[in-house]
Amino acid sequence: MNRIAVLSAGVFVVATGGAAVWWFGQGTEAPSVDVTAPSETVSSTGDGQADGATVTYALTSASRAMFVIAEELRGEPGIVTVTSSIVLGEVALDPADPVSARLGTILVNARDFTTDSSNRNRAIRGPILDADTFEFVEFAPVSIDWLASSGSEVFFTVTGDLTIRDATNSVIFDVVATLNGDETITGTAEATVDRTDWGLNIPSAPGVANVSETVTLRLEFVAAPTA
């Protein structure tokens, strides 16, 4: 091997080694443990009137926030589900008059996002979301549109500002909630977004191709009274 080839190989090793350190050295910060649920004073109301029967509910550890995205891995198309089990938020309402609901800001801990691959976890928490710097994905409700109710189920949409990293865009979530008396509120909230609206790019990785720009956001929530 001639001198130029040796030098070129050395540069390649240093470059790829540095890239590996950069790639795997990000997204390693642990989730904060002293964060509390945001107050439900950032809110929107329907036509109902809250009264002394209002109950404040907080999301429990049974809640899950996730996003679902399509990709090709080694030439095989697939669906990737990314989940965080650290979700904070509050809602205050009168169980007999849910239209009086007041919603608080929802925080999802990006440092907890997990998939079926440790390498993918590091990529999501690191170069994609920079969770070491921007620990939380934040959704701040702006308005509620009540659609229908059926027994203990209510159907509505929530429009709000979704902040990922340092970018914010308006998003509308379709929500189905079940009111279990004054014990718990359970349900789902779902929206479809374009990740490029937040400037989220997928770093080049061996075997990964055709990652969808369309992403489904989903919150599976369980909320219980705070007192």
Mean model confidence pLDDT for the chain: 84
What global pTM score does this model have? 0.83
Q: Three-state DSSP class for 30?
A: coil
Tell the residue number behind the tokens 């059926």, with chain if given.
150
H-assigned helices in 66-209: 118-123
Q: Which residues pair with 103 in a beta bridge?
A: 91
Domains of the chain from N-terminus onward: 3-225 (2.40.128.110)
150 Cβ contact list (under 8 Å, min separation 6): none
125 pLDDT above the threshold of 80 = yes
Are the C-beta atoms of residues 121 and 133 closer than 8 Å to each other? no
Are the C-beta atoms of residues 52 and 92 closer than 8 Å to each other? no
- pLDDT digits 0-9 by tens, 142-201: 999 999 988 899 999 999 999 999 999 999 999 999 999 779 999 999 999 999 999 998
Q: What is the DSSP letter of 114?
A: B
Backbone angles phi, psi at 60, to 5 degrees: -100, 175
- pLDDT digits 0-9 by tens, 13-51: 333 444 444 445 566 799 998 788 777 554 444 554 545
Backbone angles phi, psi at 8, to 5 degrees: -65, -40
Are the C-beta atoms of residues 53 and 79 closer than 8 Å to each other? no
Higher pLDDT, 64 or 100: 64
The Cα angle at residue 24 between residues 194 and 87, in degrees rounded to 5: 50
User: Alpha carbon 205 to chain centroid distance?
Assistant: 23
